[in-house]
Amino acid sequence: MLYNLVSGEKWDSLDSKKKEQHFRSYFSIGRNENTLNWARHASGVLAGTSNTRSIGNGVIGLTRYGSEIIESIISDLSVNEQIPIIAFSIINIADTKAKTHASIFNILGIIVRFFSIEENFPADLSINHKKARITNELRQLLSVVTISGMPWQEGIHNTEDSNQSSYSTPDISNLNLDTLADSIIDWLERSKNLKNEIRPSAVFLGKVWTRLYFSLLSVSDIRYSQKRNNGLATIMELFACCLINAFFAEESYYHFTSKIETGVDRINPNDSPDNFIEKIKTHKDNMEQFPFTQIIGTCPIVLGLIKNKNALHILEAMNIKSKKDCNIGCNELIFNKLNKEIIVNAEKKTS
C-alpha cells in the first residue's frame, strides 16, 4: 500500500525495476529490517504524499513554535513528573531542510521494539535490571531521529512553511522515567499470557493495516474538509483510538478465539473518542477473547496519547485495575498545552 502512494514526476519516469530498488533501499529492506526503522520511513513516505496538508495519514507536521512547546514541556518538571508520550512520536524528516512531524507509526514501532527487548531478557534477570534496560531504551527513544526524505522526490514536499523547522532533543539526562518504565514492565508481563492466546494470521494483520490506514485517512480528511481547529493532542488521541480500534474490529472477525458472537461495531473513531470508548465498554465481559486488542489497548505508550480520563475508561473496559487519580493517560494540563496552534498551516481560530 505504501508503495502505491509514492508519486511525483521523477518517480513516474522510473521503470518498475528502478522503482522497486529505490523503495527497498529507502526502507533498508534486506539490510536494517526492524519495525521501528520501517515506521520512521513509512512516516517519511506518508509525510510526502501531500503538497497541501499538514495532517496526513497518521503523520502531522509541526511548526517551529510547536516543536519548542514540546521541548519546553520535557525541559520543565514534566508536569507531575509525567513524560508527554507524544514526545516519542516525534521525528525529523529532511529533504531540502529538516522538518518535524508527530507520527502514530513511531508509536507502533516502539511497541514492537519493547517486545523485542523483553524477548531477549534472560529468564533470571532481576526486576531492577529489567527496569534499567527499559529506562535506558526510553532515553534513547526520546532522542529524536532525523531520517532523509524520499530521494526520488523533487524539491520541497509536504506543507512548506517558513515557520517550520526541526526539533532538537532537550536535555533528558536528569529526567525521571521510573513511573513510565514500571508501567511498561507491568504491561510486558501482562502481555506474556495474552501472547499465548494469539493465533498468527496474515489475513488478520492485513485487515488491521488496511483499517488503520483508512481510519487515519478519514480523521485527516474530516479535519481538512471541514477546516476543524483541532490541536495536536486531540488529533493524536484520535490516531491512538484508531490504532486500538483497528485491532478490535478485525480481531472479532478474523482472530476471534471462541464461537461466541460479539457483534462488534466496525465504525472507526473518526470524529471523537467517545463512541469508541462506549463500544469497548460494551464488550468488557468478553474482553479475554481479544488478546491483540488488550495488548495494544493497555500499552502505556498508546494510552499516553489519550486524555487521562478516557485512558482510564479504556483500561477499565480491558479489566485492568488502576487508581482513579493515576496519570496513565495524558494529563489535562499537558493535553491543553499540546492543543495550541502548533500544527503547520493550521487554520486560525476566530473568536
Cell of 248: 478490535
**Does residue 159 surpass a pLDDT of 50?**
no
pLDDT of residue 157 exceeding 70, the answer is: no
Query: Which range among 179-183, 290-294, 301-305, 343-347 shows the weakest confidence by mean pLDDT?
Result: 343-347
Residue-level pLDDT at 176: 81
Q: Which amino acid is at 151?
A: P
Cell of 214: 483508512
Vertex 311, ends 307 and 317: CA angle to 5°? 150
**What pLDDT score does 4 carry?**
65
Q: What spatial distance separates the first Cα and last Cα of the chain, rounded to whole Å? A: 41
User: In the predicted model, what is the mean pLDDT of residues 74-98?
Assistant: 74
pLDDT at 306 over 60: yes
Give yes or no for a contact between 2 and 10, defined as CB atoms under 8 angstroms apart: no
**What does the pLDDT read at residue 129?**
95
Given this model, what pLDDT does residue 256 score?
61
Tell me what the mean pLDDT of segment 81-93 comes to.
84
Of the listed ranges 15-19, 109-113, 248-252, 263-267, the one predicted with least confidence: 15-19
Cβ contact 311:276 at 8 Å:
no
Among 38-52, 176-190, 191-205, 327-341, the minimum mean pLDDT is found in 38-52
pLDDT at 348: 41
For the cut 50, the answer to whether the pLDDT of residue 160 exceeds it is: no
DSSP 330: B
pLDDT at position 248 over 90: yes
Extract the C-alpha cell encoding 233. Answer: 493532542
92 has which bridge partners?
Answer: 100, 146
- Residue 300: name the closest of 311, 291, 316 by CA: 311
- pLDDT higher than 50, residue 156: no
Query: CB-based contacts of 295: which residues, under 8 Å, 6+ apart?
Result: 191, 194, 195
Mean pLDDT of 265-274: 89
The whole-number pLDDT of residue 311 equals: 95
Domain positions in the chain are: 18-338
Size of the chain in residues: 351
The yes-or-no verdict on residue 163 having pLDDT over 60 is no
Instruction: Report the pLDDT value the prediction gives residue 301, as an integer from 0 to 100.
Output: 96
The whole model's pTM is what?
0.86
Q: pLDDT (tens digit, 9 = 90+) per residue, 120-148?
A: 999 899 999 999 999 999 989 988 888 87
Q: Please provide the DSSP assignment of 100-130 as one string.
A: EEEEHHHHHHHHHHHHHHHHTS-TT--HHHH
